[in-house]
Structure formats: C-alpha cells, structure tokens
Amino acid sequence: MTTRASETTGAQHEPARSLPLATRLLPVLAAAAVRALGTTLAVRLDGVDALRPLWQARRPLIYAVWHARILVVPWLNARLRRREGARRVCVLASRSRDGQLMAEFARRFDLDVVRGSSSRGGFEALRELARTVRGGQDVAIVPDGPRGPARRLQGGIVALAATTGAPIVPVGVAARPARRLASWDRFMVPAPFGRCAVVFGGLIEVKSHDDREDARARAERALDEATDAADALAGAPR
C-alpha cells in the first residue's frame, strides 16, 4: 500500500456518504475527543528502545493489541511518529457498519485501512495485509475483534506473520483511572488527566513450518503479558 489514508480490499463496502449525517459525524467527533483526551494524559512507554532500530531500518512489523484497549491507539501511533520515530501503520477494520465507523476514525489520524475480519472477507483482508507488509509498511491488528471472545487470539495474525516473515509485536495499553464499559470485552475509556502506559513486548517470529496452534498460543500469551505489564505500569487494577 502506497497511498495515504486509503482503504483497500478486494470486497465491496458501504460508502461512508450512504450513512446518516449524524452517524457520519461520529468518527469526526470521536477523533477530536480522543485528541483532546490525549493532551491530558501522562504517557509512559516501555520497550520503545528495542523497536527504534527496526523503525530506522524500515523493517515491517505486525502490531497486536486487544480490542478493549484500542481507543487511544491511533492517537498513540501519531504521537510515537512525532516523538519517537515510529512509522505510520495500516489497520484492519471489520466490514460491518461499526467497522466502517472505525475505519473513518482511523483515517482521522492519517492511518491506512484494510477492511475485513476473521468471519467476513477474511481471506481478502489477509491477502491485502500481506501485500501491505511485503511493500514495507507496518500493520496493526486487533486479534480478538470484532466480536471476541475477549483476549482470545484468532489465527489470522499468525498466518500473516508466517506468510510474510514479519514479526508480531504485542502491544499492551492501560490507563488509570479509566472507565470499563459493559461490553463483551469491557472496553476501556481512559479518564482525562490520568496515566496511560504502553508496553511493547518482545518480537514473536513465526516460521512457515511452525505449528500454527503453538504459535497462536505463544502470541496470545505474549499479548496478555504485555497488557498485564501495561496495567502494572499505569497502576491500573486488573
């Protein structure tokens, strides 16, 4: 993928303009709210030093973060690009209407989007993500989205790593104080003027001959560990 803030997939999607005006405004308002929230957060980072040489070498990476922790991730990527030399990522959003809104939200932070999920359009999305990674771009995947089960890593991210040779980087995000919504994943909404912690775990390499279930379990465990480490760094209750 070479174009900026674009959407790419082999499948059809509903144009944003076909949504009601009030619905189309949601991503705009949400992005503005997250930017405003971000300016109040005290952000602590762990694991960035190990990634800087990879960013400088432009080695493609596959970031993984649990669905419950994604709200401020696009803003965090923009912040890391400005301050730490990180690279812009391409994100995967489902082909549902909610996924469409998420895609529009991500574009507000200058991110590219591939549409698809493990249940609908998964093959096309995986193929496009593989093309994106082979083109030298980083990607970010929510491996328990869009419907869960929560913190159960689905196999698509492992297949992508095995196919492209790009390593998986588990990303834990936490905040204190934060509100946890009554959703399937207890979605986290950081409170203004609180702490935000981001922990980048060690690289997870998946070879083409590796057992996929073993690799899936290894990646799931590493993402849980990075998330728990972020909770500890932020002082958040588990």
DSSP class per residue in 134-161:
HTT-EEEE-TTTTT--TT---THHHHHH
Per-domain boundaries in the chain: 42-234
**42-234 fold:** Glycerol-3-phosphate (1)-acyltransferase (3.40.1130)
Exposure class string for 210-220: b at 16+ Cβ within 10 A, else e? eeeeebbebbb
Q: What pLDDT is attached to residue 156?
A: 92
Closest CA to 44 of 218, 231, 238: 231
- The β-bridge partners of 200 are 171
Distance CA 2, CA 9 (A): 14
DSSP class per residue in 103-121:
HHHHHTTT-EEEE--SSSS
Q: What pLDDT is attached to residue 24?
A: 82
Measured CA to CA in angstroms, residue 34 lies from 13, 87, 178, 198 at distances of: 26, 20, 14, 16
What tens digit of pLDDT does each residue of 146-177 get? 788 999 999 999 999 999 999 999 999 999 99
What is the token pair recorded at 84? 């730490």
Helix (H, G, I), strand (E, B) or coil at 86: coil
What tens digit of pLDDT does each residue of 100-110 get? 898 999 999 99
What tens digit of pLDDT does each residue of 63-89 get? 999 999 999 999 999 999 999 999 999
Q: What is the mean pLDDT of residues 42-54?
A: 98
Name the more confident of 97 and 53.
Answer: 53
Which residue do the tokens 């936490």 mark?
Answer: 174
